Amino acid sequence: MSKTSATIKLIQILSSSNDYINTNDLGNIIDTNSRNIKEYIKEIQACGYKVDSLAGVYGGYKITKGSTLPALKLTDSELHSLKELTTYLKDGEYLEYNDLVSAIGKISLSELKDDIDPIDMIDKFPFQMDRIELKKRYNVINDCINNQLSLEIDYKNSNNVIKKHLLNPYKLFLYNGSYFVLALDNNNDEFGYYKLNRIESYFKTRNHFTLVKNFDIKDYLDEYGLVKNGEFFDIKLKINNLNTYIEERIYGKNQKIEIIDDNSLILSVSMQNKNMIKSFILSLGANCEVLEPEWLKDEIHNSLWEILNLYEKN
């Protein structure tokens, strides 16, 4: 057995054991003199593995727990960014947090939770749904995706109407703090986005489905979110007294900001979904004036009249 083969074999043996293995046993297993084991251990350590040793009758060697992958040569800033990532996600809606910490721990070979002060994350409008239930739904749907099994659900849409759907789920994803599943609805043979927290009931069937030929996830999800979530519209807004606030974010495609002065700017951007556009503009109140298009001016004007009528005194 070559030195390389023996070293690889030794890694496999030590990684699969929870106990120390003495040099005589290791020598017998890889068919070499026990005196050579120390040299092989040095080779393993040079590859980035951490190896524990224990002297005595019951001693020997074992690979340190959490060191089953070679230690990557991370810079201090790279390691810090991984550690900080876990603090950002800890108190959010990320359901795979514990697995993420475990994976990063194996890469960095360190205990992340004690190395950096946690960042306070405040969710202004957290979901009412229990995280355990959300995780349960996530796991069931993920199992359906991995095994190509159809899923029956009762789903509450935005109009508060509950309908039954037989779905072929393709992709779970997180969007604006909410978990969604992209799925093909067997009732109308169309793909749609379904929020996990709006699912009233669900049942994993035993019916296998075949993936749609030429399916491309980019047709439904991109860097701006939900591709099929409504038409994109080119809008132009004059915004006052909110320069710093507006400059902090990207609101859609082809965004351009023209600074007029310290207190005003013009925002040109392609935004999706009429209702979302109206909500965004109305949230800015009197600080926002719609310049283009004309139909959006009319929509905002009508919405404001409806709001005013609600508070009109008799």
Q: 239 - beta bridge partners?
A: 265, 288
Q: What is the C-alpha to C-alpha distance for residues 25 and 82, in angstroms, rounded to an integer?
A: 39
Burial-class residue 271 by CB neighbours within 10 Å (0-12, 13-18, 19+).
buried
Residue 70 within a domain: no
Q: What is the pLDDT of residue 1?
A: 65
Residues of the chain with pLDDT under 70: 1, 65-76, 79-80, 83-84, 86-94, 97-98, 101-128, 313-314
Indicate whether 48 belongs to any domain: yes
Helices (H), 120-172: 131-147
63, 88, 106 - which closes a domain: 63
Any domain includes 106: yes
pLDDT for 113 equals 45
Examine residue 123 and state whether it is found in any structural domain, yes or no. Answer: no
Domain assignment present for 68:
no
Instruction: Please tell me the predicted confidence (pLDDT) of residue 118.
Output: 46
Residue 122 has what pLDDT?
Answer: 47
What's the CA gap between 157 and 159, in Å, rounded? Answer: 5
User: Is residue 189 domain-shared with residue 245, that is, in the same domain?
Assistant: no
- Print the domain residue range for 215: 131-226
Residue 47 forms part of a structural domain? yes
CATH code at position 280: 3.30.70
CATH classification at residue 189: 2.30.30
My answer on whether 31 and 98 are in the same domain is no
The pLDDT value recorded for residue 147 is: 94
Domain end position, chosen among 40, 63, 86 = 63
Q: How many domains does the chain have?
A: 4
Q: Please tell me whether residue 60 adopts helix, strand or coil conformation.
A: strand
Q: Are residues 237 and 272 in the same domain?
A: yes
- Strand bridging mode 162-175 / 178-185: antiparallel
238 and 289 fall within a common domain: yes
Q: Please give the Cα distance from 53 to 87 (Å, whole number).
A: 34
Specify the CATH number for the domain of residue 57: 1.10.10.10
Q: Where are the beta strands (DSSP E) in 186-314?
A: 190-195, 199-208, 221-222, 225-226, 232-240, 253-261, 264-272, 288-292
Q: For 57-95, how does the pLDDT look when each residue is reduced to its tens digit (9 = 90+)?
A: 778 888 876 555 555 556 667 766 776 676 666 555 567
Picking from 202, 226, 250, the residue at the C-terminal end of a domain is 226
